[in-house]
Amino acid sequence: MHRGLLEPYQNRPSAIHRLPAAAKCAAAVVVVLVIVLLPRAAWPAYGVTGAGLLLVAALSRIPPSRLATRLLMVEPFALGVALLSLFQPDGARIFAATVARSTLCLFAMVLLGATTRFSDILRVLWSARVPRLLVTTLALMHRYLFLLVDETGRMVRARRSRNYSRDRLATWRSSATVIAHLFVRSSERAERIYSAMCARGWKT
């Protein structure tokens, strides 16, 4: 996987980037809340919100293709949920509204992530008294995600360099081994991280 796609933040000299992180987080939450609370058929309001978000996107000077790629990466999850609504009466309309609403919400979050450093968002969450455990978990996840991706890449490459078989079953089996190894390595790393935290005075 491309490391670039994992990293949401795009450093650009724009007015949107310079806004305080707290303001951007609050605005994103407000957009999501308003969209969720709007009646299902409020299409004009969706249009206005969408136009507003597009304006922010333009002001942020981030290439539209980049934002679109990120949006498409998360869209399948929303689509999966929306598809379920097709099985009820008047399904098509509910489906369209669900897709529109979730796309707007996701777009707001993609914009927030692209214009605000993750560490700044964490600081906002911290000062907004979001439960500590959740913020710490998010921080550690963001920190070690890249390491995990690199490690997976190295293991997959090492495996490929020794695996000439075209037997699909064998490939699956070795994939399972890679996953198992990653799990063991991650849990060992978690132990070492915990030791490193204790070594600097955590919980003493």
Partner 1 sequence: MNALEVRGLGYRYPDGTAALDDVSFDLAEGERVGLIGPNGAGKSTLLLHLNGLLPERPVPAPAVHVFGTPVTEPHLAAIRARVGLLFQDPDDQLFCPTVWEDVAFGPQQQGLRGEGLAVRVAQALGQVGLTGFEERLPHHLSRGEKRRVCLAGLLACEARLLALDEPTTDLDPRGRRELKGLLESLPVAQVIATHDLEMVVELCPRVVVLDRGRVVAHGPTAELLADEDLMLAHGLERPHILRHRHPH
Which residues of the shown chain bind partner 1 in the complex (CB under 8 A)?
117-119, 122, 139-140, 142-144, 146-147, 189, 192-193, 195-202, 204
Distances 126 to 122, 129, 136, 137 between C-alpha atoms, Å: 6, 5, 9, 12
8 A C-beta contact, residue 109 and residue 30: no
Q: Minimum CB separation from partner 1 for residue 130, in Å? A: 15
Residues 6+ apart with CB under 8 A from 196: none
Q: Minimum CB separation from partner 1 for residue 189, in Å? A: 6
Q: Smaller CB distance to partner 1: residue 84 or 197?
A: 197
Q: Smaller CB distance to partner 1: residue 43 or 146?
A: 146
Q: Minimum CB separation from partner 1 for residue 181, in Å? A: 17
Q: Minimum CB separation from partner 1 for residue 26, in Å? A: 20
Distances 80 to 72, 131, 133 between C-alpha atoms, Å: 13, 29, 29
Q: Smaller CB distance to partner 1: residue 139 or 156?
A: 139
Q: Smaller CB distance to partner 1: residue 163 or 195?
A: 195
8 A C-beta contact, residue 14 and residue 115: yes
